[in-house]
Amino acid sequence: MHKLIDPLTALEIAKSKGVKVYTIGMSAGPATVMENTGNEKGKKNPAVDFLDEALLQKIAAETGGQYFRARDKEGLKIIYSQIDQMEKSKVEITSFKRVEEKFLPFVLAALAFLFIELVLRFSLFRKFP
């Protein structure tokens, strides 16, 4: 089950978060709906345009966006390109590199060999004057 948010509630949320909303009204021309009216099942009545342009314009205006009206697929593509031209935002990318030092075993080995060299120099390989 999907929970629907009232458009005015969504408007208030967008305003509080500083989200700019661009609204697009889309209708593909006249439509028909099936309506059950008593014994006349399936009687076709012309549908009213369910597009609430006033609400879409209000949402766009109050969030700093803009309202567009599209009538077909090509119009929608043009609208998307217009919005894309208007909204260019900078994106900051922060990358982290994990560095792991691997020199410690080599330093320990070098110190161990240095210690062994000193021990051997003054014991087994001692030079007599």
Q: What token pair was written down for 105?
A: 């075993």
**pTM (predicted TM-score):** 0.51
Averages of pLDDT over runs of 10 residues in the chain (129 residues) are 81 91 79 46 48 90 92 90 80 88 95 94 77
Q: What is the pLDDT of residue 24?
A: 92
Q: What is the pLDDT of residue 49?
A: 52
Q: What is the pLDDT of residue 45?
A: 40
From residue 95, how far is each of 77, 90, 99, 100, 102 by CA, in Å? 34, 16, 13, 16, 22
Q: What is the pLDDT of residue 34?
A: 44
Q: What number of CA atoms fall less than 13 Å from residue 79's CA on the CB side?
A: 17
